[in-house]
Structure 1
Amino acid sequence: MQEQQKNTGLVWFRNNLRVNDNISLKKSIENNNKTFAVYFFDPKLFQEDAYGFKKTAKFRAKFLIETIADLQRNLANLNITLLTYFDSPENKLQKLCKEYAVTDIYTQKEWTKEETETNKKIRKKLPSDISFVEDYDQFLYHPNTVSKDFSKIPNVFTAFRKKLEKTVAVQEENNISKLSSDNLLEIKTEIPTLENLGFSDFKIPNKTAFPFLGGESEALKRLDNYFFETKKVAFYKKTRNGLVGTDYSTKFSAWLANGSISAKTIYWKIKEFENEFGANQSTYWVIFELIWRDYFKYISLKYNNKIFKIGGILDKDYQWYNYQKDINKWIYGETKDDFVNANMIELKKTGWMSNRGRQNVASYFAKELLLDWRIGAAYFESLLIDYDVHSNYGNWMYVAGVGNDPRDRKFNTKLQAERYDSKYKFRKLWLEKTLF
């Protein structure tokens, strides 16, 4: 009798840093005799960009290290080894495939410029008999169920949302099986430290609105707390424009951004909550925000690298400036606007800013100072713990008037401060002795 061919699957983790509802992991386990995993702390992502900002600054770097440590533990519980390297995937992947006789690589499908360039470099080096399996695994509504032609995605969110809600179902989560202990590799690697990545250790101020650790375990703990322990989700629509504290919003965005939790997991937990305690506008509004997140991904699929161009997806020919003095004043919270300043200081000290704050400081940067919006987007990319390429550039285009806002609005930051911080609670928290 012919012996069954032995296949080895390698799961290359990108922004899908979880074991629950992970299609790459599921496919590798189901289709191979052995499975192991790898994560690369790619040096490119810790270097300076064209504007002089580190692409990944200390806040997201720390959150990422915590996330990978948690992923390694969770995979070990499934008897899967996670190897980690401070190296680029195009440098190391081929060697790993050779060393462990890998037959199949499984990874999350990415489509933005830097990620696809990395893929091309990898494929050039890989032997042709190694299959390279990519899956969209960062959506609420899977692309296969949404459109066969991304060029037909509507340019207005409401049209997109209404059609989706009417005609498309959210898929079930993928269940992952535990393997036998002989699947584990004998080799162990070290997770890089902050110092390895070029940073000194630091502490985030206690008054931060985002005091959470990275990793799937923390994400699931927050989900359970926000939904079932405190039932704060039932008030989300009323509190979501808040500025102070941990519970004015879900705070899921950082874990969603690096894939520590899937949008589907959140969706089905909301459905569970609604079945037990009833649905209301607030529970729906969390789903509404997840659809916005999907929408920016679909806009990125539709327009590709146009989301990084100065004219945006509308090819607008506005006059933009890059006065370093004005950029620095914005970064350091030294503008003429105290509401903008408080938000920018919060970002600089914690790597976090509320959604309300982001809209105001971005509008001030692009519409008041008339500065090249891509510089602001790059600064957010560097600093924000919850940076997500599609949401970040989608939102910046929107606010700068080169994206999906048909009204091309400008935020009145003074009125916004009066409305959302009438008692100066937020500004007092971050401006401290500067103004008070």
Structure 2
Amino acid sequence: MQKNEKTNLVWFRNDLRTIDNAVLAEACKNGKRVIGLYCFDPRLFELNAYGFKKTEKFRAKFLIESIKDLKLQLNALNIDLLVYHDTPEAVVPKLCETFNVSSIYLQKEWTQEEVDVEIAVKSKLSNIGWHSMYNQFLYHPDDINFEIDNTPQVFTVFRKKLEKYIAIRETIQTKKQSEEYRIDNNTSITSLADLGFEDFQPHPHSAFPFKGGEREALKRLEDYTFNTKKLGVYKKTRNGLVGVDYSSKFSSWLANGSMSARTIYWKVKQFEQEYFKNQSTYWLIFELIWRDYFKYIAMKHRNHIFKLGGILQKDYTWSTNASQIEQWINGETPSDFVNANMIELKETGWMSNRGRQNVASYFAKELELDWRIGASYFESLLIDYDVHSNYGNWMYVAGVGNDPRDRKFNVQLQAERYDTSGTFRRLWLQPSLF
């Protein structure tokens, strides 16, 4: 490597893929050396204000698997991934000096913690180009037909403004780089032990036994759409509670960016062209639009998504009763349906969409507990935690977000409807029977 060789640095965060990665593709365009960076930021594994680890073992393991796969995928493009267990503001300036970095490329984020880290990194750099770009949407912000500050407060209005009028962009390919640009990479990928966890195997009853990484994501996408054609019955099965295939399970790979929403969209369109189009194929895209919606809501309302009054700035009286919170976490409430879902989450890092809505409604509407504590617990445990969807959904259920009807779930009726035979509850409350 020539010492004066200019280098583009790709700082990976929640965009851990090589396919349809606008940041990576842009960095690779101009013929300079490209190197990748991922930081296991220690702050993401510390206790938060509510006493939960910001990232628990389930998502940590999935993340490590994703980084291992990203390294392999980048390697095939002749791009090295440097991995550190340190803060980005400590690592990036050193790399810029060592590798003569002229530009940094990264995915654009807008929530406070991510922005704060960017500011801390920028403050230690000089004369380095900074290229942050939107890279996590189905509907690209440059294409939408309204200002972000005018994002509709009701999802249906948002959806109707976009789905018939705005085209989805094609996926982006990244070109292979010259082998002469390879560097000496003596970094190693952080282990669970480095992060303070013991290694573990997925729970035998887990509805999400999958591994992290782009290859696993694409394998699941192919399996769910073309191999099993489960996509074709998605709308009928999506409220299920038991098993691997009642829903697509794409959310975890979407959350850390191992797969893009557009990759899923175009796979569904291919399926519709080759086989059939029905309510189920549409409904998967419908769910991707929901995901976009919460991202736009977070861009519009900024830190209000983390505040007690939410984006509506409503002044409810909330409790922080420690014993009720503990009972909810440990599955010891008067509701067996809530309990089963909470035990599933604690044991696997996963919970169905139906379960999430019910336990969150029970927490916020029945127990009238500070919804941010529940959201923070979800953030800690869920493999598919996504800041915008998590806080957007919790606000929605708590009555301080985008639900115009301000509903409260009747968890008993929900259990009777969605777990009629009690199979799900027995699975987690009496696991010895299975």
Whole-angstrom distance in 2 between the partners of 1:48 and 1:435: 36
Whole-angstrom distance in 2 between the partners of 1:285 and 1:424: 27
| 1:88-99 map, 5 Å | 88-99=87-98
Q: Structure 2 unaligned segments of length 5 or more: list them.
A: none
- 1:79, 1:179 within 8 Å by CA — same for their partners in 2? yes
Q: Give 1:315's aligned residue.
A: 313
| Alpha-carbon shift at residue 434 of structure 1 (Å) | 9.6
Q: Select the residue among 329, 332, 341 that pairs with 2:330.
A: 332
| 1:276-315 map, 5 Å | 276-315=274-313
1:186 aligns with 2:149: no
| Alpha-carbon shift at residue 188 of structure 1 (Å) | 2.3
Whole-angstrom distance in 2 between the partners of 1:366 and 1:148: 33
Whole-angstrom distance in 2 between the partners of 1:146 and 1:229: 34
Q: Structure 1 unaligned segments of length 5 or more: list them.
A: none
1:409 aligns with 2:376: no
SS at match of 1:286: helix
Whole-angstrom distance in 2 between the partners of 1:352 and 1:427: 15
- 1:6, 1:32 within 8 Å by CA — same for their partners in 2? no
Whole-angstrom distance in 1 between the partners of 2:88 and 2:324: 38
Q: Give 2:371's aligned residue.
A: 373
Q: 1:433 to 1:355 in 2, by over 3 A?
A: closer
Q: Select the residue among 336, 347, 351 that pairs with 2:345.
A: 347
Give the count of matched residue pairs: 431
- 1:254, 1:387 within 8 Å by CA — same for their partners in 2? yes
| Alpha-carbon shift at residue 148 of structure 1 (Å) | 6.0
Whole-angstrom distance in 2 between the partners of 1:295 and 1:384: 20
Q: Select the residue among 239, 246, 249 that pairs with 1:241.
A: 239
1:264 counterpart letter in structure 2: R
2:300 counterpart letter in structure 1: K
Whole-angstrom distance in 2 between the partners of 1:286 and 1:174: 21
| Alpha-carbon shift at residue 7 of structure 1 (Å) | 3.0
| Alpha-carbon shift at residue 151 of structure 1 (Å) | 1.2
Q: Give 2:359's aligned residue.
A: 361
Moved more, 184-193 or 317-326: 184-193
Q: Give 2:426's aligned residue.
A: 428
- 2:6, 2:99 within 8 Å by CA — same for their partners in 1? no
Q: 1:178 to 1:355 in 2, by over 3 A?
A: same
| Alpha-carbon shift at residue 365 of structure 1 (Å) | 0.2
Whole-angstrom distance in 1 between the partners of 2:8 and 2:34: 5
Q: Give 1:255's aligned residue.
A: 253
1:22 aligns with 2:52: no
- 1:7, 1:32 within 8 Å by CA — same for their partners in 2? no
| Alpha-carbon shift at residue 170 of structure 1 (Å) | 0.5
Q: Select the residue among 141, 144, 153 that pairs with 2:142.
A: 144
- 1:8, 1:32 within 8 Å by CA — same for their partners in 2? no
SS at match of 1:10: strand
Superimposed CA distance per residue, residues 195-244 of structure 1 (whole angstroms, 9 cap, x where no aligned partner):
10011111221110000000000000000000000000000000000000
| Alpha-carbon shift at residue 435 of structure 1 (Å) | 11
| 1:46-65 map, 5 Å | 46-65=45-64
Q: Select the residue among 132, 135, 146 that pairs with 2:133.
A: 135
Moved more, 173-182 or 247-256: 173-182
Q: Give 2:152's aligned residue.
A: 154
Whole-angstrom distance in 2 between the partners of 1:307 and 1:434: 41
| Alpha-carbon shift at residue 31 of structure 1 (Å) | 2.0
Whole-angstrom distance in 1 between the partners of 2:119 and 2:218: 35
Q: Alpha carbon RMSD of aligned pairs, Å?
A: 1.3
SS at match of 1:125: coil
- 1:80, 1:184 within 8 Å by CA — same for their partners in 2? yes
- 2:427, 2:433 within 8 Å by CA — same for their partners in 1? no
Q: 1:6 to 1:434 in 2, by over 3 A?
A: closer
Q: Give 2:36's aligned residue.
A: 37
Q: Give 1:228's aligned residue.
A: 226
Whole-angstrom distance in 2 between the partners of 1:269 and 1:148: 27
Whole-angstrom distance in 2 between the partners of 1:349 and 1:52: 19
Q: 1:414 to 1:435 in 2, by over 3 A?
A: farther
Whole-angstrom distance in 2 between the partners of 1:56 and 1:325: 23
| Alpha-carbon shift at residue 187 of structure 1 (Å) | 2.1
Moved more, 170-179 or 425-434: 425-434
Whole-angstrom distance in 1 between the partners of 2:98 and 2:146: 39
SS at match of 1:233: helix
Whole-angstrom distance in 2 between the partners of 1:32 and 1:147: 35
Q: Select the residue among 383, 398, 401 that pairs with 1:400.
A: 398
TM-score normalized with structure 2 length: 0.98
Q: Give 2:272's aligned residue.
A: 274
Instruction: Determine what percentage of the aligned residue pairs are the same residue.
Output: 62
- 2:336, 2:425 within 8 Å by CA — same for their partners in 1? yes
Q: Select the residue among 382, 386, 389 that pairs with 2:387.
A: 389
SS at match of 1:16: coil
Whole-angstrom distance in 2 between the partners of 1:433 and 1:89: 43
Q: Give 1:164's aligned residue.
A: 162
Whole-angstrom distance in 1 between the partners of 2:107 and 2:175: 19
Q: 1:433 to 1:61 in 2, by over 3 A?
A: closer
Q: 1:297 to 1:171 in 2, by over 3 A?
A: same
Whole-angstrom distance in 1 between the partners of 2:180 and 2:146: 42
SS at match of 2:164: helix
Whole-angstrom distance in 2 between the partners of 1:433 and 1:161: 41
- 1:242, 1:249 within 8 Å by CA — same for their partners in 2? yes
1:187 counterpart letter in structure 2: N
Q: Give 2:206's aligned residue.
A: 208
1:105 counterpart letter in structure 2: I
SS at match of 1:313: coil
Whole-angstrom distance in 2 between the partners of 1:133 and 1:343: 42
Whole-angstrom distance in 2 between the partners of 1:434 and 1:313: 44
Whole-angstrom distance in 2 between the partners of 1:43 and 1:228: 40
Q: Give 1:121's aligned residue.
A: 120
